[in-house]
Amino acid sequence: MTAVAQFSSRAAEPAPAFDIWMRHVQAEMETALEQFLPAAASIPTKLHQAMRYAVLDGGKRVRPLLVFAAGELFAAPAGSVQRAAAAVEMIHAYSLVHDDMPCMDDDALRRGKPTVHVQYDQATALLVGDALQAQAFIVLAEAGEVGKGVDAARQIVMLRLLAQASGSLGMCGGQAIDLASVGLNLSLAELEQMHKLKTGALLRASVLLGAWAGKTLAQNEIQALEAYGAAIGLAFQVVDDILDATADSATLGKTAGKDAADNKPTYVSILGLSESQALAEKLRNDAHQALAIFGDRARRLRELADLIVQRKA
């Protein structure tokens, strides 16, 4: 039984503790991703093995957790939620593979193991990112098949959401601004705009994908979820900047202090550490307030806002 089906079928019982729910979703996502990725033995084997290396057995799965939490809020079918969550995680993984390459951030460590271009080679890493992006849309496009619960109109909305969050007006656009900003003195507003695209767009899309998997959303529901997504999107990056300045590489699973070493503008470099921590807490409160219209049904989304701000890695 999937996490969504298991927990929604016990709605009359007390909800399980957040850490239990989170571990169920993470385990379910590992199984789903193994299923939705091409088999390692299928040709071209090197590419498929590298795709699985990039995606499986690593990461906190924050974006799938957001998909599942929003799906649970609107009683979305388990199969649809799984596919939406897997698709967004594949997009995220592809972005990390490309971000780590020498032409971008040139990093050798990701999720506690060698980055894809180090483990394999640069050409393979480039193809891994390209193939994962395509695979994400294959997986999401099948969320509307018979028995999976998403009608055609909502499926188009979901495909558009993921495409917009991934493209030049979303994640890729934010990365382009990031690369162009090295060594520059950005204003706080400019830094926020960059991260609304680079990090926030895909987090916001995760929430909306889970919700649309459940129903056609009313305008006030869209506005509330977008406000929540905007708050956690910025909070995630603020905390990333704090951790980059305060944690070590073993804790982070990636190279610590790299933003400062690369002379990149961050919330810590602009605001200082204490003000950055205060901003993260404000954004957590904003996220909670955005969910007020849903009452206790949005408990998991609130808990995820807490996780994003209070995490140590």
Chain segment 7-40, per-residue pLDDT in tens = 444 444 567 899 999 999 999 999 999 999 999 9
8 or 209: which carries more pLDDT confidence?
209
Confidence category of residue 228, pLDDT binned at 50, 70, 90: very high
CA distances from 101 to 96, 105, 129, 174 (A): 9, 6, 11, 17
Give the up-direction half-sphere exposure of residue 57: CA atoms within 13 A in the CB hemisphere: 7
Considering the chain, what percentage of its residues have pLDDT values greater than 70? 89
248 or 234: which carries more pLDDT confidence?
234
Nearest in space to 84 (alpha carbons), one of 72, 74, 71: 71
Mean residue pLDDT across the chain: 90
Query: By mean pLDDT, which of 137-141, 148-152, 302-306 is the weakest?
Result: 148-152
The CA dihedral of 63, 65, 70, 72, to the nearest 10 degrees, is 160
Mean pLDDT (whole number) for 192-217: 96
Q: Write the pLDDT tens digit of every residue in 257-276.
A: 666 667 788 999 999 999 99
Q: What pLDDT score does 7 carry?
A: 45
Q: Write the pLDDT tens digit of every residue in 57-72.
A: 878 999 999 999 999 9
Q: What pLDDT score does 308 carry?
A: 96
Predicted confidence (pLDDT) at residue 117 exceeds the cutoff of 90? yes
> Going from the N-terminus, what domains does the chain have, and what CATH number goes with each?
17-310 (1.10.600.10)
Mean pLDDT (whole number) for 91-116: 93
Q: What pLDDT score does 59 carry?
A: 85
The CA dihedral of 233, 238, 243, 249, to the nearest 10 degrees, is 60
2 or 91: which carries more pLDDT confidence?
91
Going 26 to 32 to 37 to 40, the CA torsion angle's sign is positive
Q: Is residue 83 within 8 Å of residue 139, measured between CB atoms?
A: yes
